[in-house]
Chain A
Amino acid sequence: MSIDDEVVKEFLVESHENLDQLDRDFVALEADPGARDKIAAIFRTIHTIKGTSGFLGLPRLQALTHAGESLLTLLRDGALALTPEITSALLAMVDVVRRILANVEANGGEGSEEIDGVVSQLSALQKRQTSKPGAGTITVLAPAQSPTAPPATATGTPPAIPPFPTVQPPPGTPASGAIPSLASVPTFAAGPIPSIPVAVSDPPAPLFVESPIAVPAPPLQGARAQHDPPASSSVAESSIRVDVGLLDRLMNLVGELVLARNQVLQFSAASKDPSVLGTSQRLDLITTELQEGVMKTRMQPIGNVWNKFPRLVRDLAVACSKKVSIQMEGAGTELDRTIIDAIKDPLTHLVRNSIDHGIEKPSDRLARGKSEIGTIIMRAFHEGGKVNIELSDDGQGIDRKHILARAVKRGIVSSERAARMSEREALNIIFLPGFSTAEKVSNVSGRGVGMDVVKTNIERIGGTVDVSTKLGQGTSIKIKIPLTLAIIPALIVSTGGERYAIPQVNLLELVRLEGEQARGGVERIQGAPVYRLRGNLLPLVYLNQVLGYANDAVNSEIVNIIVLQADDRQFGLVVDGVNDTEEIVVKPLGKELKAISAFAGATIMGDGRVALILDVLGVAQRSGVISETRERTLRETLTQDDAHNAGKEALLLFQVSDNGRMALPLSKVARLEEFPRAMLERAGKRDVVQYRGEILPLVVLREMLGCDDKPFDASVPLQVVVYSERGRSIGLVVDRILDIVEDDVSVKATGSREGILGAAVIQGKVTDMLDVHAVIQRFDPQWLPQHTAA
């Protein structure tokens, strides 16, 4: 029999959806065994699969589902109570059904999937019931020992009844065409099989209905259940199924349209013809709207991934003999399809971890005064253009001492280093490759591949992972990921005459060195260029060298450093020019170029030319920035942490008179501004400027501190440090802003002048610490509220 491929495909897609729904229903059912609508829904699904598989000539699938259906009948009629054993058997059946379907999808046939075990288990569970008085007579037994056996033989049916005619309409026959032949069925099936409800209303199923169509079903609840629209599973009429490949193509085309639109806008801007302008503006609007629309079609609720978790949690909990419930908030939060795919495995892993490591055994939980049932909460929500996913459990939390001991034992960190580690650092060890806290390897987890993979996978799609834990109370893992991968903001730079795009997520800051700074700013350690960024050494990588361009004369007058974050290290990428930031459409590279780790893809710029997208991690690896061992990284963060604990502070360095170096804690600085002298106005005896709709009084530090009265050069703009307190701002006029450094603020010498707290050695030079309050107090005693003036 030739099966119409379309029909099979439809059946597969539908069945997969149904099976996912089944998993959820089963778990829900276990929580609330009395929920008859759930049983009815499960029954209907199984019945549908059974019916269609008969129609499509898949006898093993049919026999299997038939056995399940029979058991479900008993459950639904209340002849049998749901036990975990039954649930497990039914879930096992669902799994086999899945495997058979996978086989059908791959090979077009059922394959040789073993079904006898499951079938006999299902039958055995029914038989246990048949002896019970009252329910026995209406039991349907699965035949099913042989997969090719006719699927529905009722126990009470006289043996003389021939096997069911498998009503298989010739391909192409409309469904209704088969129905007349069923008219004769009742005569066969008049045996005692009354409890199976008629499922005629189930859309794809009943062409081939063996017994059910026979008898008007006496139990009312059965009949009712199938006419009630299923409470949760009907979105049907308003939506259609679309091939994902088609959506991807649409998305690509829209990306092109966006680029073409950009080009048109460039041309039309030069045109004087109002109709051209008008038309291109409309094109602009429509394109933008179309882009948003198509983006939306690719968005899927995160619930699509979460749906499988209840089942997973149940199975794992049973396997670990723990009791766990899972709660989900924000399952409707939408994400791009590609991202949904990418987070599926990491999330699964985290859930596994939670159950295996996090949640304690029920007895331990009770001993600790917790409820016997552990809870895993998954939350998803949008925030600031990103999707946040949180997974928290109320388990035992992560014991840092335990982690450290383990890490030392495994040789991941040395014991003396472990002793110096901060809490946060210790926690981050779980993300190192090869680390596992499980005492023994279970089939759930403990193989030491995991958290590092989770982290890598999330970071690959531009996301971040963060762990926080409270010993004895639970662990919470926060994941932040971008909404979409297809269109990303990027910084366009140029080197060697070509443009390159750097994804904005990797970008920390831009530093431009000119003249003297450019010549002296870049120092070398054994040939390796470094730059002092606020007192820390920033390794530099020259993009033209990484890309193997001839090392043509590097412009020593201007150095553009792009400070990037790769993994947990920072480095500076030196490029010839920094162009602009742009939203770019990411396109993959062809096979020939995929292997080049320095590139993440390509994009088409507004002028129609192709530009390569840099893979920051790849560039860092190529240039050796992150080839050093992970330990090095840890040590670095450690020193940074220590530094932080020691109370280092970011300081703003500036110059007040010709050689007066002064410093001010950066935390007190609201902004740095430059005002042309023409903006200077006078109010009363004071110099003021209009700043953000307010009047900003200016304090000329040079005068205030009595350095000298040399007037400012009128052609040079005023350098102003804006200081804010309690909603009021004041501008401190300085000669030059020098730098921002991080340093110890312990004052070495006490102040000799008014307005100076004291002096400290910063960057090897004596620097005065400005006493802002004293200066302002002197400038205007009314400005500061009395109690802070002290």
Chain B
Amino acid sequence: MTQPRQLCTFYVDSLYWGIEVTRVQEVIRYQEMTRVPLAPPHVRGLINLRGQIVTAIEMRTRLGLSPRPDTVLPMNVVVRSDDGGISLLVDEIGDVVEVSEAAFEPAPATVQVSSRELLRGVYKLDKKLLLQLDADRLLEPSRGAAS
């Protein structure tokens, strides 16, 4: 694939992530949510998004990063899925960035395992590295979900 891709970018614990723009339904501010007991730890709750019930995933937990300080309210990146969509709770929203495949490289082997699982690869931008989130992996129910 040579045509440029567009990635919707966001920050999670100072890491710069991106997800294909076409997968993103919308980006919204913090919403109140309903706790789900017994759920895997990264499931923060359920959000009513105009009647659509969306599962909110705490990306910091999902990626095995340190928890977000309570003072920072996360933003929601709502990703489409065939059963209602999920919302990624992230620290901050970035721009939509156009990337070329030439700058792509698979994830180096040294990256932490919990992040690796969701890391499709790395785009080498001018000043920083953009980590591409593997949306398909993300939408699969994570292993170790409560039975």
Query: Are B55's CB and A592's CB within 8 A?
Result: yes
Binary interface encoding of chain A residues 251-270 relative to chain B, with 1 for a CB under 8 A from any of its CBs, else 0: 01101100110000000000
Please measure, in the bound complex, the distance between the C-alpha atom of A260 and the C-alpha atom of B50, giving whole angstroms: 9
Query: Are A608's CB and B48's CB within 8 A?
Result: yes
Q: Indicate if A423 sits at the interface (CB-CB under 8 A).
A: no
Query: Are A592's CB and B53's CB within 8 A?
Result: no
Task: Specify which of B39, B43, B51 lies most central, judged by the most chain A CB atoms within 10 Å of its CB.
Answer: B51
Query: Are B39's CB and A587's CB within 8 A?
Result: no
Query: Are A256's CB and B146's CB within 8 A?
Result: no
Which A residue sits closest to B47, measured CB to CB? Answer: A610
Given contacts A256-B51, A547-B37, A602-B53, contact A593 B43 (CB under 8 A): yes
Q: Indicate if A10 sits at the interface (CB-CB under 8 A).
A: no
Among residues 603 to 623 in chain A, which have CB atoms less than 8 Å away from a CB atom of chain B? 604, 608-612
Query: Are A548's CB and B51's CB within 8 A?
Result: no
Interface of B is mostly: loop
Q: Indicate if B46 sits at the interface (CB-CB under 8 A).
A: yes
Binary interface encoding of chain B residues 36-47 relative to chain A, with 1 for a CB under 8 A from any of its CBs, else 0: 111110010111
**Which of B34, B83, B86, B147 contacts A609 (CB under 8 A)?**
B34
Q: Indicate if B73 sits at the interface (CB-CB under 8 A).
A: no
Which B residue sits closest to A590, measured CB to CB? Answer: B55
Binary interface encoding of chain B residues 16-53 relative to chain A, with 1 for a CB under 8 A from any of its CBs, else 0: 00000000000000001111111110010111101101
Q: Indicate if B95 sits at the interface (CB-CB under 8 A).
A: no
Which B residue sits closest to A253, measured CB to CB? Answer: B51
Given contacts A590-B81, A592-B86, contact A498 B34 (CB under 8 A): yes
Query: Are A587's CB and B38's CB within 8 A?
Result: no
Among residues 68 to 117 in chain B, which have CB atoms less than 8 Å away from a CB atom of chain A? 81, 83-86
Query: Are B34's CB and A590's CB within 8 A?
Result: no
Please measure, in the bound complex, the distance between the C-alpha atom of A253 and the C-alpha atom of B145, giving whole angstroms: 30
Given contacts A252-B51, A590-B83, A592-B145, contact A547 B40 (CB under 8 A): no
Query: Are B57's CB and A610's CB within 8 A?
Result: no
Query: Are B83's CB and A588's CB within 8 A?
Result: yes
Binary interface encoding of chain A residues 160-203 relative to chain B, with 1 for a CB under 8 A from any of its CBs, else 0: 00000000000000000000000000000000000000000000
Binary interface encoding of chain A residues 581-611 relative to chain B, with 1 for a CB under 8 A from any of its CBs, else 0: 0000001111111111111001010001111
Give how many A residues have a beta carbon under 8 Å from the other chain's beta carbons: 31
Neighbouring A residues of B140 by C-beta, 8 Å: 591
Query: Are B37's CB and A595's CB within 8 A?
Result: no
Say how far B137's CB is from chain A's closest CB, in angstroms: 12
Query: Are A548's CB and B48's CB within 8 A?
Result: no
Say how far B73's CB is from chain A's closest CB, in angstroms: 18
Neighbouring B residues of A610 by C-beta, 8 Å: 33-34, 45-48, 53
Query: Are B57's CB and A592's CB within 8 A?
Result: yes
**Which of A253, A587, A588, A595 contacts B147 (CB under 8 A)?**
A595
Query: Are B38's CB and A592's CB within 8 A?
Result: no
Neighbouring B residues of A587 by C-beta, 8 Å: 53, 84
Neighbouring A residues of B125 by C-beta, 8 Å: none
Q: Indicate if B141 sits at the interface (CB-CB under 8 A).
A: yes
Query: Are B139's CB and A598's CB within 8 A?
Result: no
Given contacts A591-B81, A593-B43, A602-B46, contact A548 B37 (CB under 8 A): yes
Which B residue sits closest to A499, measured CB to CB? Answer: B34
Neighbouring B residues of A498 by C-beta, 8 Å: 34-35, 37
Neighbouring A residues of B53 by C-beta, 8 Å: 587, 589-590, 602, 604, 610
Say how far A652's CB is from chain B's closest CB, in angstroms: 40
Say how far B42's CB is from chain A's closest CB, in angstroms: 8
Query: Are B141's CB and A592's CB within 8 A?
Result: yes
Q: Indicate if A496 sits at the interface (CB-CB under 8 A).
A: yes
Say how far B29's CB is from chain A's closest CB, in angstroms: 15
Please measure, in the bound complex, the distance between the C-alpha atom of A256 and the C-alpha atom of B51, giving whole angstroms: 5
**Which of A548, A588, A609 contacts B84 (CB under 8 A)?**
A588
Binary interface encoding of chain A residues 74-97 relative to chain B, with 1 for a CB under 8 A from any of its CBs, else 0: 000000000000000000000000
Given contacts A256-B51, A587-B53, contact A595 B141 (CB under 8 A): yes
Say how far A615's CB is from chain B's closest CB, in angstroms: 11
Neighbouring B residues of A612 by C-beta, 8 Å: 34, 36, 46
Say how far B122's CB is from chain A's closest CB, in angstroms: 26
Given contacts A259-B51, A602-B46, A608-B48, contact A593 B36 (CB under 8 A): yes
Query: Are A589's CB and B51's CB within 8 A?
Result: no
Please measure, in the bound complex, the distance between the C-alpha atom of A197 and the C-alpha atom of B108, giving whole angstroms: 73
Binary interface encoding of chain A residues 565-595 relative to chain B, with 1 for a CB under 8 A from any of its CBs, else 0: 0000000000000000000000111111111
**Which of A548, A594, A599 contacts B141 (CB under 8 A)?**
A594
Query: Are A547's CB and B38's CB within 8 A?
Result: yes
Which B residue sits closest to A258, measured CB to CB? Answer: B51
**Which of A548, A594, A611 contacts B34 (CB under 8 A)?**
A611
Task: Specify which of B46, B57, B139, B147 lies most central, judged by the most chain A CB atoms within 10 Å of its CB.
Answer: B46
Closest 4 A-B residue pairs measured CB to CB?
Answer: A256-B51, A547-B37, A590-B55, A610-B46
Cβ contacts A to B, 5 pairs, < 8 Å: A256-B51, A498-B37, A548-B38, A593-B39, A604-B51
Q: Supply 15 further A-B pairs (C-beta < 8 A) apart from A590-B54, A596-B36.
A: A255-B51, A256-B51, A260-B51, A498-B35, A549-B37, A590-B53, A590-B83, A591-B139, A593-B39, A595-B147, A596-B38, A604-B51, A610-B48, A610-B53, A612-B36
